[in-house]
Amino acid sequence: MRIGDAAAAAGTTPLALRFYEERGVLPPPPRTAAGQREYGPDDVARVRVVRELLALGLTVEDLHGVADRIDVLVRNPQRRCGPPDSGVPGSRVADRRLAALDAEIDRLTRLRDRLAQHVEDRPNSSPSSPEAAIPTEAQ
């Protein structure tokens, strides 16, 4: 199938397929005599797995590092990541991404706490009012 049909079948766009190929997440597909990309059902399944992993918070760069092992998930979608030393594809990548997400959650929690404290410290402000965090000219 051509790129537009493959993209539609995978729930994405032709531009995304080209991007994944350019970033090394998808292998280059065979081409027709006219130079057009030709995709098969396995390619569509791989794109679906890529999109699912991206939706879980992994990045294209994360997937590039394990691109050669994504086919394991295509063949066995129920496969789960194990501990980093388990040899299961992507377990180290998932652990690194979880650590990055935990760090971002911590950073955002501190930011939220600072903003909440700023709002509470202002006289005559309602914590639920967005305007409460913005200084007025009189202050």
Q: Give me 74's structure tokens.
A: 């295509």
User: What are 33-52's pLDDT values in tens digits?
Assistant: 999 999 999 999 999 999 98
Q: At what angle do helices 3-10 and 14-22 cross, to 10 degrees?
A: 100
Among 1.10.1660.10, 3.40.50.150, 3.90.550.10, 1.10.40.30, what is the CATH number of 1-79? 1.10.1660.10
Among candidate residues 51, 34, 88, 99, the one with its CA nearest the CA of residue 66: 88
Span 8-29, pLDDT tens digits? 999 999 999 999 999 999 999 9
Q: Is the sign of the CA dihedral 42, 45, 51, 52 positive or negative?
A: negative
Question: 3-state DSSP call for residue 21?
Answer: helix
For the chain, the maximum distance between any two Cα atoms, rounded to a whole number of angstroms, is 73
Predicted TM-score (pTM) of the model is 0.64
More confident residue, 84 or 129: 129
